[in-house]
Structure 1
Amino acid sequence: MRVLEVNNLNVSFRQDGQEHMAVRGVSFHIDKGETVALVGESGSGKSVTALSTVSLLPDSATVSGSVRYEDRELLNVSEAQLRAARGNDISFIFQEPMTSLNPLHTIEKQLRESIVLHQGLQGDAVRGRILDLLTKVGIPDPQERLSAYPHQLSGGQRQRVMIAMALANNPDLLIADEPTTALDVTIQAQILDLLADLKRDMGMSLLFITHDLGIVRKFADRVCVMKDGEIVEAGPTAEIFANPRHPYTRMLLSAEATGRPDPVPDGAEEIASAEGLRIWFPITRGLLRKTVGHIKAVNAASFSVRAGETVGIVGESGSGKTTLALAVMRLIASDGPIVFLGEHIERHTARELRTLRRDMQIVFQDPYGSLSPRMTAEEIIAEGLSVHGVDPGRSRREMVAEIMEEVGLDPATMHRYPHEFSGGQRQRIAIARAMILRPRLVVLDEPTSALDMTVQVQIVRLLRDLQRKHGLAYLFISHDLRVVRALAHQVLVMKSGDIVEAGSADDIFDAPQTDYTRALMAAAFDLAVEEGASM
């Protein structure tokens, strides 16, 4: 039985008085119980195609063609008909949970709204359904998380809540737009297994949008490869991977971060270190806010990083990776000595730290959320110059143009706003913003997770080049162990706030010592887990 059939879909957007084509003549179908993957780089038209199926595009879009769900046409129908289809028949999992979840509502309230609206459950039945959904998608201690707000969850936990909301009404067709982008490898595997189980048990169909071809190979029945708004190749997954016909498909399949970083120079200066670092957040109760316990985010963490060295920090969401890095930069409070450029900074005041800030910079995970939409690329990149007042003898525009060229951006585009750049270009702007100050230490918090595989390769090469040229020290946080292997000299493996294993990248990847590390490697590289390995 055919669940969704798209024929000759065309989508254009009106901008500056002109029509810009985003999707051209796209046709594909999804049968009951089938998984179809749309793959391609950012801007290829994948998400626009998916959003078109239930008319979720903005008013500036013009859509033509045909989209049929079972025997019903979904284009140019009433809003009431669309709401019925969106709620009960077709559900979406969006890429960025932080912008899709309401920051003012608890997790329970957001899940409750959907369940009550579409299923009519009340009282304890609703809470039971919510707890069941949160358990299925791997939220730890779901009872404790009901009253949490989105900002109190890790990125991976927020994505799991989004998946729970999409599954709440048992849809016939689930459209998943990069649903595992923010997840670490073990949770990614769990979510994919969950979706596969639901597909089998419920006869559910899936339209899966992703840039991770490893997921496509294991998960999809058929693949549609998109480039510049068109499907350039389509067919059964095994056939596409074994015998790709189009040059673009071959290019996508060959894109993988490889190689190793340059060796750390002998006698390299120690840039930063921590010894027995502890970060505990108090849990308070009652009118007087009495401390009744602690969330032990990081326990007794010790490490050092030298000039020209990359320390990779890996582990599941909520393991303490980002918290550790933020503490080293003194952006959150911690206990234990922190040495930066030979100076103990753990007790420095904000004023004392100000002179060191130009030497410690951070590049965040999400190039969409970390750049101000109201500032041009020039203003974003130059913001630090205004704060720290460096190189007064040179013009700001000259310095911005120089760093843009260094990170692979055209200086002629510095007047544009973030929405006018691709995802990879936005991440290059974020890197340029950090690098323009010529820092000694850069924290890279999942800088490639939201990017296409081809763009990931470019960013990895860029980071290696910048490290080689400037002797930068990196703290590289990632759940993508393939990227970590291509960049890191040393690796810290974190679990529940503890560093459970540490050593050279070669030792960690080739001969992991703990069950937890072996399980991470198995999930990342599609290996068999040894008997007795425990998560």
Structure 2
Amino acid sequence: MSALLDVQNLSVSFRQDGKDSLAVKGVSFAVNRGETVALVGESGSGKSVSALSTVSLLPDSATVKGSITYDGQQMVGADKARLQKVRGNDISFIFQEPMTSLNPLHTLERQLRESIELHQGLRGDAVRDRIIELLHKVGIRDPETRLGAYPHQLSGGQRQRVMIAMALANGPDLLIADEPTTALDVTIQAQILELLAELKEAEGMSLLFITHDLGIVRRFADRVCVMKDGEIVETGPTAEIFDAPQHPYTQMLLGAEPSGQPGPVPQDAPQLVETDALRVWFPIKRGFFGRTAGYVKAVNEASISVRAGETLGIVGESGSGKTTLALAIMRLISSQGGIGFDGQDIQGWKSKQLRPLRRDMQIVFQDPYGSLSPRMTIEQVIAEGLGVHGLEPGRDRHEMVADIMQEVGLDPDTMHRYPHEFSGGQRQRIAIARAMILNPRLLVLDEPTSALDMTVQVQIVDLLRDLQQRHKLAYLFISHDLKVVRALSHKVIVMKQGDIVEAGPAAQIFDAPQTDYTRALMAAAFDLEADESVIGA
């Protein structure tokens, strides 16, 4: 096989505050025709910077040295006309978050039309026919009815399929996929990966796949390049890398998978949270007078119970009602049915009655950067709740912040820094510290590990288990990462379209799922043979 893309001794530095920061250091790799090569490593290792360098998509502050040849032609220092011909035509990109890559103000037809008209010169009905053909190819059902839709009207999986259609529009020879499935449910992730594999085969493309998920790499890549701190520390055929990794960093990545089980719940642990036929229906308003024409049934007749020191894992695809159920339990949205907390029925309580209870119920969100104010120091972020709920008698605020930072594995000397000065894993520890400083009894964890590297995920899982044992915390753990759910949960409920379709002890749900839907989730997460008809349902 001849090399379609050949990168030799690539170095990339960025100019910041008068200093040069080296992001990529002497990297060399090649992608042959018809081959899938994976660049793997943790955040900040230089994967994306290396990929963006191929067609000079880096900002003006970047300095690129070395050689990048595409189909025998040098790309480093190439003129604008040459780069424009290659970008989107010969080399296409699929990015991690389609909502930031698609224009929210343009319909799908307009966004696809722009690329096709620019590169292929088609006009009128020929463009529309090509768009429908592409949407069919990537698995969008009834594409004719979707042409006028905007990105926000599609699910995450559908948006990613549209991104793939845009990337394929001009028949590229090389597709660069940068973390294309990180934000997706396990079943949607499986569909997107299968789709990429099928399209690669059908179109005869090469694929450069950037990810931190080694499970994906094992299934789809021909060769692997492992990156750390801007350098490739190991490279070779996929089977060889997985069966006999040579570099300690590769060995660490392969071993970084959430494992083990949560500590036992004491037999005399009291019931802390319970719901009885809880229902959350959102009215659909129509007409000039806003009459209710129907309901979005987000949660239907949900009955759950959680004891002190126990974790209830809540799993299901996006839109299944997981987060809505948790928000209803915390009385942050309206609902019908019984909600019990610590033996009291809190469903009818007013805001004033609920205020003392807020301290006992805290939440940690998926994106630690988005949930932390960039204008506040870490001390201010963590202590914010103390201003609302009051300090413990005889305790100093600074001292309380220092204590909780130490407990979650942060250096108290860094409390005067701002969120952007911390890594993703450290920011998630800050979010956990903000919740824990109030000494809660129930912690809602809404996808707290999905945006993190595998090694950091393991650390956060260990931290959460440790905090639970020490403080007898009850967790509602919402996630689409079933490996993390298995490592943390005592009990699991499986939700689909607002209904709890299966519930039971974690071991029973994972080892002997009873419903087709649960089996499909497990198959997608644990690399078993899945029933495609169930997954796509």
Query: Contact 2:360 / 2:441 at 8 angstroms: preserved in 1?
Result: yes
1:442 aligns with 2:430: no
Compute the displacement of 1:151 (Å).
5.1
- Matched residue, 1:416: 417
Closer, same or farther: CA 182–142 of 1 in aligned 2, 3 Å: farther
Aligned counterparts of 1:81 and 1:393: Cα–Cα separation in 2: 69
- Matched residue, 2:24: 23
Compute the displacement of 1:364 (Å).
1.5
- Superposition map of 1:107-506 within 5 A: 109-119=110-120, 137=138, 150=151, 155-391=156-392, 393-506=394-507
Closer, same or farther: CA 292–108 of 1 in aligned 2, 3 Å: farther
Aligned counterparts of 2:57 and 2:489: Cα–Cα separation in 1: 41
Query: Contact 1:156 / 1:182 at 8 angstroms: preserved in 2?
Result: no
Query: Contact 2:10 / 2:26 at 8 angstroms: preserved in 1?
Result: yes
- CA deviation map 1:425-471 (0-9, x unaligned): 22222222222222111111111112221111111101100111111
Aligned counterparts of 2:319 and 2:530: Cα–Cα separation in 1: 22
- Matched residue, 1:48: 49
Greater CA deviation, 360-369 or 147-156?
147-156
Q: Which runs of 5+ in 1 are unaligned?
A: none
Compute the displacement of 1:216 (Å).
0.5
1:75 aligns with 2:66: no
Aligned counterparts of 1:200 and 1:527: Cα–Cα separation in 2: 22
Closer, same or farther: CA 52–295 of 1 in aligned 2, 3 Å: same
Compute the displacement of 1:146 (Å).
5.9
- CA deviation map 1:33-52 (0-9, x unaligned): 11110111122111221222
Aligned counterparts of 2:163 and 2:349: Cα–Cα separation in 1: 40
Letter in 2 for 1:59: D
- CA deviation map 1:309-355 (0-9, x unaligned): 11111112222222222222223332222222333333444444333
Compute the displacement of 1:386 (Å).
2.7
Greater CA deviation, 110-119 or 281-290?
110-119
Compute the displacement of 1:105 (Å).
4.7
Closer, same or farther: CA 167–531 of 1 in aligned 2, 3 Å: closer
Closer, same or farther: CA 294–163 of 1 in aligned 2, 3 Å: farther
Aligned counterparts of 1:150 and 1:376: Cα–Cα separation in 2: 35
Letter in 2 for 1:507: Q
Aligned counterparts of 2:277 and 2:319: Cα–Cα separation in 1: 19
Query: Contact 1:159 / 1:182 at 8 angstroms: preserved in 2?
Result: no
Greater CA deviation, 484-493 or 114-123?
114-123
Aligned counterparts of 1:382 and 1:146: Cα–Cα separation in 2: 48
Letter in 2 for 1:374: R
Closer, same or farther: CA 45–274 of 1 in aligned 2, 3 Å: same
Letter in 2 for 1:512: P
Q: Helix, strand or coil: the match of 1:337?
A: strand
Letter in 1 for 2:467: L
Closer, same or farther: CA 397–530 of 1 in aligned 2, 3 Å: same
Q: Helix, strand or coil: the match of 1:280?
A: strand
Compute the displacement of 1:4 (Å).
1.3
Query: Contact 1:156 / 1:317 at 8 angstroms: preserved in 2?
Result: no
Query: Contact 1:372 / 1:418 at 8 angstroms: preserved in 2?
Result: yes
1:508 aligns with 2:521: no
Query: Contact 1:234 / 1:240 at 8 angstroms: preserved in 2?
Result: yes
Closer, same or farther: CA 122–239 of 1 in aligned 2, 3 Å: same
Query: Contact 1:276 / 1:300 at 8 angstroms: preserved in 2?
Result: yes
Aligned counterparts of 1:516 and 1:470: Cα–Cα separation in 2: 35
Closer, same or farther: CA 51–533 of 1 in aligned 2, 3 Å: closer
Compute the displacement of 1:202 (Å).
0.6
Greater CA deviation, 313-322 or 461-470?
313-322
Aligned residues: 535
Amino-acid identity (%) = 75
Letter in 1 for 2:88: G
Aligned counterparts of 1:195 and 1:344: Cα–Cα separation in 2: 50
Closer, same or farther: CA 37–269 of 1 in aligned 2, 3 Å: same
Q: Helix, strand or coil: the match of 2:297?
A: strand
Q: Helix, strand or coil: the match of 1:336?
A: strand
Greater CA deviation, 177-186 or 152-161?
152-161
Greater CA deviation, 503-512 or 371-380?
371-380
Compute the displacement of 1:135 (Å).
5.8
Greater CA deviation, 347-356 or 39-48?
347-356
Q: Which runs of 5+ in 2 are unaligned?
A: none
Query: Contact 2:391 / 2:397 at 8 angstroms: preserved in 1?
Result: no
Compute the displacement of 1:297 (Å).
2.0
Greater CA deviation, 388-397 or 239-248?
388-397
Closer, same or farther: CA 106–300 of 1 in aligned 2, 3 Å: farther
Compute the displacement of 1:381 (Å).
2.1
- Matched residue, 2:38: 37
Compute the displacement of 1:157 (Å).
4.9
Compute the displacement of 1:155 (Å).
4.8
- Matched residue, 1:58: 59
Q: Helix, strand or coil: the match of 1:268?
A: coil
Query: Contact 1:43 / 1:422 at 8 angstroms: preserved in 2?
Result: no
RMSD of the alignment, in Å? 2.7
Letter in 2 for 1:191: I
Letter in 2 for 1:402: D
